[in-house]
Amino acid sequence: MTETRHVVYDTDTGIDDALALLYLAGRPDVDLAAVTTVYGNTPIDAVVPNVGYVLELAGLPDVPVAVGAAGPIEGEARIASHVHGVDGLGDVIADKKPPRNIVDRSAAQYLVDLARDRPGYYDLLPVGPLTNLGLALEIEPDLLTLYRSVVIMGGSGPFPPLGVVQMVDANIHNDPEAARRVMSAPRNRLVSVGVNVTATTIVDESAVRRLHESGTTWGEFSAAVLESYMDFYRYAWGRRVSPAHDGLAAALLLQPDWITAGRTGPVNITTDGFFVRAHLMETADGGPVAWPAEPAPDTVVVTDVNREAFLADFVGILAAGGEPTR
């Protein structure tokens, strides 16, 4: 019998977040227990109706939604409208309404209340800046020990091989202080699904054609927003493709057997003066870095995955879900 995961989804709902939310809704082993919202891919005022739209599309309009942080603990928000469009969903959806079931607490407080009410019951899946978690840790320093597991879409893995340049670690870069709090907090199991692996799980041209031709509400929505996403990513590889960042993190929470390689150790927040990253404090070959690492509890850092199994499941669920359109 398949085990059901009770997932709390912390999101800055842009394009890949929306697809990950539909993927969670389509998995038979998921109970989407709550959604908490945070700025990032788009401002918080756009994130909230985006969640409402996707929950309606998913057939889950009554899932509780908590409104979260509008900016980082320190500094200014960096909104990714050049990637996700002004509205966060590629500017292709004309009519969006707030979620039906907005709770009367902040996202940080709601994350604490859920965890305290049922310790060890929920799995937490943050796929945006970690501000809500950083604020929640002020209320409950043992927050991460009260969740069964925490899987983060964020981080950059170990330091890369010489000469290799990585994609921006946007969720960490947007709130380094929140990321520092999370990476140094006590936990049961914390998994970092970083850009070192998400950048290699690509929804390609044939997958997008399948979604366009699906004849379903989920598939056609997914294809429409991916067209906008690919407008940005074409400049990375010269092709109209895009990474499934948040979808991969969702999948690895549910199917840890799709993690084919990983390392475990302390993760520190680092900067080169341009970008902030969350790195496992090891070089590519497993050696120590050239400065003393700050002590931190162990994080499981994913370094490779079963891309074929994930992408088949991810695209298949998006193509089949929702109502027929013809």
Residue for token pair 């695209």: 315
Residue 95 sits at φ, ψ, to 5 deg, of -125, 110
Q: Give which of 144, 89, 80 is closest to 112, Cα–Cα.
A: 144
φ/ψ of 127, rounded to 5, equals: -125, 15
On whether the CB atoms of residues 158 and 283 are closer than 8 A, the answer is: yes
What's the pLDDT score for residue 1?
54
CA separation for the pair 15, 87 (Å, rounded): 10
Query: pLDDT by residue for the chain (326 residues), tens digit each?
Result: 578 999 999 999 999 999 999 999 999 999 999 999 999 999 999 999 999 999 999 999 999 999 999 999 999 999 999 999 999 999 999 889 999 999 999 999 999 999 999 999 999 999 999 999 999 999 999 999 999 999 999 999 999 999 999 999 999 999 999 999 999 999 999 999 999 999 999 999 999 999 999 999 999 999 999 999 999 999 999 999 999 999 999 999 999 999 999 999 999 999 999 999 999 999 999 999 999 999 999 999 999 999 999 999 999 999 999 999 98
Query: What is the amino acid identity at position 243?
Result: P
Burial class for 287, CB neighbours closer than 10 Å (0-12, 13-18, 19+): exposed
| Nearest-angstrom CA–CA distance, 88 and 243 | 16
- Check if the beta carbon of residue 87 is closer than 8 Å to that of residue 46: yes
Say which DSSP state 324 is in: B
Scanning the structure block, which residue is given the tokens 């019998």? 1
The runs of H, that is alpha helices, within 27-100 are 44-58, 81-84
CA–CA distance, 94 with 238 (Å, rounded to integer): 30
Q: How far apart are CA 16 and CA 3, in angstroms?
A: 25
Q: Name the E strands within the chain.
A: 5-11, 30-37, 65-66, 122-126, 149-153, 190-193, 202-203, 242-243, 259-265, 267-271, 276-280, 299-305
| Torsion angle defined by CA atoms of residues 101, 26, 233 and 94, in that order, rounded to the nearest 10 degrees | -40
By DSSP bridging, strand 65-66 and strand 30-37 are parallel
Write down how long the chain is: 326
Please state which CATH number belongs to domain 5-202+242-310: 3.90.245.10
Whether the Cβ atoms of residue 309 and residue 247 lie closer than 8 Å to each other: no
Amino acid at 31: D
The neighbouring-strand residues paired with 263 are 301
Are 156 and 199 spatial neighbours (Cβ–Cβ below 8 Å)?
A: no
The torsion region of residue 273 among left (phi > 0), alpha (psi -120 to 50) and beta comes to left
The closest alpha carbon to 2, from 228, 252, 222, 254, belongs to 254
Helix (H) or strand (E) holding 133: helix 131-139
Burial class, 315, CB count within 10 angstroms (exposed 0-12 / middle 13-18 / buried 19+): buried
